[in-house]
Amino acid sequence: MMDQAFTLRSMADMTEGARMDRRDSIVRVIAVTSGKGGVGKTNSVANLAVALSRMGKKVMLLDADLGLGNLDVLLGLTPKYNIGHILRGEKTLEEVIIKGPADIMILPATSGIQEFTDLSPEERLTITSHLEGLEKDIDILIIDTGAGISNNVLFFNMAAHEIIVVVSPEPTSLTDAYALMKVLLRKYGERSFKLLVNTVKTRKEGLEVYRKISLACERFLNISVDYLGSILYDEKVPRAVINQRAVVEMFPNTQASRCYQEIAKELCQCPPSTSIKGGLQLFWRRILNTSLK
């Protein structure tokens, strides 16, 4: 126990020094998460990344659904290596990263390997230390977390400047998203969330879904949730998925693509106000100090 505490403190001190040295090269870190699976989270990540890249941003995706990653499959990519090779010390970050559509960079996750579904502090440090060298090469790091409230999901959510919670209009999606935000608030004190409502029939339906979850969060958690926008249901989306391509790439003028483009534009126009927390060090001091309490 004392050895683990020493390791955590050492990691925190090292990260703080790195953060002080690179205040002027902040990479925007966005976690995209969900309370339950099946809401289109990974598809949203892929499409937002392509849309942001086409707006001139240098984007990297971290598939953080470790053990069940499928971002590469969604985009029709066949990586030779994955993040597991980095954690085992077999490959460097540069050897693992692959290039996707619109020149986005992707760090693939493992698939079907249970040992990485709950990272140790040392494994988290390994990922962080490898990512730190990329600050000069990217503008935005998007973390595609797993769904639910596992330790990995909570960690990667807290390792971001912004948390985008993806929901669908289904009641179970709303209740699980609420539960996720509740855990992040109670365990880590996180109070800032953005909501993306996927597969709605109308924009009015998207606003109604936001109203429901926002009222619940304000009343019972005393937090406010920002509305990022909604993605209209579009028959072109499943067609793009079957073809293993982002809909904004395959059908750039369809209504779902326009929704993703609007949200990407909104993200570009409204940078986070929390950039002072750090860059690709992923808030280690904040997270690790919390872990020691």
> Do 130 and 92 touch, CB atoms closer than 8 A?
yes
Name the pTM for this structure. 0.84
User: What is the average per-residue pLDDT within 18-36?
Assistant: 70
Say if residues 164 and 197 touch (Cβ distance below 8 Å): no
Q: Closest by alpha carbon to 171, among 181, 163, 182, 179?
A: 179
According to CATH, what is the number of the domain 2-292? 3.40.50.300
Q: Which amino acid is at 41?
A: K
pLDDT above 80 for 129: no
Angle of the 121-132 helix axis to the 284-292 helix axis, nearest 10: 170
How confident is the prediction for the chain on average, in pLDDT?
A: 83
List, for residues 135-193, the tens digit of each pLDDT value.
Answer: 668 899 999 998 999 888 898 898 888 999 999 999 999 999 999 999 999 999 999 99
The length of the chain is 293
Residue holding tokens 């403190």?
A: 9
Rounded to whole angstroms, how far apart are CA atoms 55 and 19?
28
Burial of 222 (0-12, 13-18, 19+ CB in 10 A): exposed
Question: What pLDDT score was predicted for residue 93?
Answer: 84
pLDDT at 248 over 70: yes
Q: What is the structure's pLDDT at 231? A: 98
Closest by CA to 29, choosing from 180, 177, 138, is: 138
- Residue 98 pLDDT grade (very low, low, confident, very high; cuts 50, 70, 90): very high
| Secondary structure (H, E, C), the chain | CHHHHHHHHHHHHHHHHHHHHCCCCCCEEEEEEECCCCCCHHHHHHHHHHHHHHCCCCEEEEEECCEECCHHHHCCCCCCCCHHHHHCCCCCHHHHCEECHHHCEEECCCECCHHHCCCCHHHHHHHHHHHHCCCCCCCEEEEEEEECCCHHHHHHHHCCCEEEEEECCCHHHHHHHHHHHHHHHHHHCCCEEEEEEEEECCHHHHHHHHHHHHHHHHHHHCCEEEEEEEEECCCHHHHHHHCCCCHHHHCCCCHHHHHHHHHHHHHHHCCCCCHHHCCCCCCHHHHHHHHHC
Q: Which amino acid type is present at position 19? A: R
Q: Are 63 and 109 in contact (CB under 8 A)?
A: yes
In sequence order, the β-bridge partners of residue 226 are 194
Q: Are 45 and 71 in contact (CB under 8 A)?
A: yes
Check if the beta carbon of residue 125 is closer than 8 Å to that of residue 291: no
* Residue 155: per-residue pLDDT: 86
Residue 47 has pLDDT above 90, yes or no: yes
